[in-house]
A and B are shown apart, each in its own frame.
Chain A
């Protein structure tokens, strides 16, 4: 009950902010804020597999791309008939229906892609997942380049603008709540046990392959949702936004913030996006910031800015237990 009220309050707050925010902080800052939100979804979801489950995936941009293009294509091609079907609703609700349809498709297709990549590669230990996911990301990009219906190398334009601050931050909250609840359950303990000691986890009855795949699929689904939100915000998608460099960006975010900390992933996403934007004038040189930042973090705080610190554990220790 209390939780329901909390969610209602959050939705109302976001809905109240949305129409005024652009005037309040300017269109430029509004756009940065939305990008920060999308990056938070990417970082928090990647942290589930890289941080909590301890498997090294460098293909997050691949699932991001799958989601972005799935949602955009779905809304672009199936949108008009669906809109006609719900034409009795006010325009805002029509947009919401289309967006949610797109995001649902994005999550499902990205999740299936995660399943297809995860089942063979997660059976193996060590670096195989990294190699396979790196390859997967590139395959997806090359595939997109060659599918004309979604723009190919020209890029996919004419995507209706459906997402905005409200939707992005609603999904930021949903992502954080999902990962937080999951990590703080028997599933989360299973994920962390795999990271700590796979042999011992297996000996305690944890089917490690199954849990790795589960974690990977959930992570991929949220990457897909982030992609959908991105496409419907920028209204244009190009394969160049989804190279393996984009995957590394997300890894940098979670390494800066702290692997295995949700708050860390959020902080990392914010720091990364804002710093990247502040140094926009320096062109490609701005990436040097992160090289320097990463070197400094590895020297002075190898566990990341927040390490494995979480709000939750603090509360438990002082709690009734």
Chain B
């Protein structure tokens, strides 16, 4: 007997594919952004800038010298966006698990 297409299952399958591709999209976007976050230090009245990043099991600092305000702004904005993307990626992972469980349950009930 031919089974009637299940629109709910269709939506779930579509949303799962969307969530997985969006997770990959944010991962790509994060990789394309400048590494680390900007740290400013005031030493004897002068501002020095470093980019702090995690590497080899410890926090490393890369000296950036004197930076123009536009570059500083770029780093600050990129840090904000990175935090935003990481939060959205966490939501996406939770959603992928939720949809997978729902699909599994619908399949189990249909048997």
Partners in one complex: no
Which residues of A does B touch, CB under 8 Å? none
Which residues of B does A touch, CB under 8 Å? none
